[in-house]
Amino acid sequence: MQYQRVRLESLGYILPDEIIASDEIEVRLAPVYERLRLPQGRLEMMTGIRERRFFPADTAPSTVSIASAEQAILASGIDRRQIGALLHGSVCRDFLEPATACSVHHGLGLPADCLVCDISNACLGLLTGLIQIANMIELGQIRAGVVVGTECGRGLVENTIERLNTDTSLSRQDIKLFVASLTIGSGSVAMLLCDEELSRTHNRVTAASVLAHTTYHELCRSEGLETFMRTDSEQLMNQGIATGAETFTQFLRETGWRRDEIDKTICHQVGVAHRKLLFEALALEGRLDFPTYQMLGNTGAAALPLTLALALEAGHIDTDDRVALLGIGSGINCQMIGLHWQESLVRGLRNGLPKSQSKVMTSLPQS
């Protein structure tokens, strides 16, 4: 898929106040650690994740999504009457029905002739929404659209801790299936796309490549983000990276870029091992990337676009940079999107303090 008319105009985000360290989670896991004689520090050592953030218990995803989408709309300066699509793409949602996007649409006061729906695609939900909106803009069906999502990971982490402590039938091998659940964090992000005539930034979406290897759809299964998730992390990582390498070849062809012409990358945030092996497989230098998993954990479908927003605030991405968004999710699905960047319009709330066009970010190290 190639685009001429589509611009990624602005981003908005919300980060929760509450910070939970991996050490704190291990303190709560004392019963199972003692029973199986597991060493302390194991969680951070295996994943590279020092901490993650949580929204308050019982937070409705739509309430946070309204706030992050509002940030993106305000940053863009585009009249909300021009917005022709609102897609909600996170794993978390308010209810099975109606669509969480309906609550967000109402809260934002968007026009009645706006397409409103939820997009479900595991950790690629927001990227899938970006592609859908980009297609509509390229076809001239709409002039602007917003894809937004909010992941609330507290319930999954807390339920996993309780399960590991109380189910004494679990062995060391069994516990491996639950490690990924302990890496989950919370966050919210919105992206506003528009046609070239509405754009002030001219951040061009150049191309998108997709690949599905659904042979491996059973490697990660969730009964619901508030209940339990079982993940064969090693197999999912290996097959995901193999799928990513195959998709990357297609991505270079569709963008017309050479590997050495990619200036920056933004990846789905899983952990230290995944990042290392991915960059080795793609033959890319780690310095191009901006990791956030150390401080945010895995924030699901919000992870990649949220990392993009934070990278922009930190000044990691420069004018005229070719930026590769590299998304790999369970399924296995892979989606990669090329951006030719010009100007950053980002508004966000971090620890309750408004951040806009910030050039320095001290809380999230780049390596």
Residues with a known catalytic role: 97, 123
What is the spatial distance between Cα 32 and Cα 26, in angstroms, rounded to a whole number?
A: 10
Write the DSSP string, 192-230.
EEEETTT-SS--EEEEEEEEE-GGGTTSEEES-TTS-EE
Tell me the C-alpha to C-alpha distance, in Å, between residue 80 and each of 85, 122, 356, 357: 11, 28, 20, 21
Q: Across the chain, which distance is largest between two alpha carbons, in Å?
A: 63
Q: What angle do CA 280, 284, 290 make, to 5 degrees?
A: 105
Residue 183 is classified by DSSP as: G
Q: Is residue 268 within 8 Å of 327, Cβ to Cβ?
A: yes
* Alpha carbon distance 115, 125 (integer Å): 17
Task: Please list, in sequence order, all residues whose beta carbon lies within 8 angstroms of the beta carbon of residue 246, skipping any fewer than 6 positions away.
Answer: 211, 334
242 φ, ψ (degrees, to nearest 5)? -60, -40
Six-digit token pair at 129?
A: 């929404």
